[in-house]
Amino acid sequence: MPRAFAQLTFTPAVRAQQERMGSAGSYAKFIDSGPQQGHLIGEAEKAFIEARDGFYQATVSETGWPYVQYRGGPAGFLRVLGPQTIGYADFSGNRQYISRGNLDGNDRISMILMDYANRRRLKILGRVEITEGASAAASLHPQGVEAPAERAVLIRVEALDWNCPRHITPRFTEAELKPHLDALGVQLAQLQAENERLKQDLAAAR
């Protein structure tokens, strides 16, 4: 776990639970003083982020309740704009605006980006800056989406963490399955053609 992520998430209550469960020692090195790490987007993180077609985000309401929402779009709609900045064009959904309202009172956001097929998961903690209006989101507008965006959402990354793949069940999108299904289709067509040829040879030999 990178130091930046541990420093934000290992609160006294969390450390107390680690002590109780016997894992505090193994995590101590991540909160000790030392050079900061885990707060910048590297090439691996950039490639992973921009390949996603969705992510889960959590905000916190004025009453203290967390709210988790899924944000989706074409692959690449979530863009890396700098070593600590990612952004996306936000489109209208069910118009409840729970996440949007929460961010007015608390700009903190937690994100989980999933690659189920390869059992990879990236966690991001950041602070959100919102600019309203379709014109503000024009530079972030994904190609192929005709609907106007309602706002631009910029996230200043405070910490990142590649999470353990344990317990991630592999799942595959249609796009991820297509090359394999296409290859199977070619093999099936070849087998059907071979089977037809053998049937014709057998009939001719009678």
Q: Residue 32: pLDDT above 80?
A: no
Contact 88, 73 (CB under 8 A): yes
> Same domain, yes or no, for 132 and 60?
yes
C-alpha dihedral over 33, 39, 45, 48, to 10 degrees?
120
| Number of domains the chain is built from | 3
| Residue-range definition of the domain harbouring residue 182 | 173-206
168: in domain: no
> Same domain, yes or no, for 203 and 129?
no
> Same domain, yes or no, for 3 and 103?
no
How buried is 127 (Cβ within 10 angstroms: 0-12 exposed, 13-18 middle, 19+ buried)?
middle
**In the 8-state DSSP scheme, what is residue 147?**
S
- The answer, as to whether pTM is greater than 0.75, is yes
Please give the Cα distance from 89 to 73 (Å, whole number): 10
pLDDT in tens, 1-31: 688 999 999 999 999 999 999 999 988 888 7
> Same domain, yes or no, for 22 and 89?
no
pLDDT of residue 94: 87
Mean pLDDT over each residue of the chain, to the nearest integer: 92
pLDDT of residue 205: 83
> Same domain, yes or no, for 71 and 141?
yes
> Same domain, yes or no, for 52 and 142?
yes
> Same domain, yes or no, for 4 and 49?
no
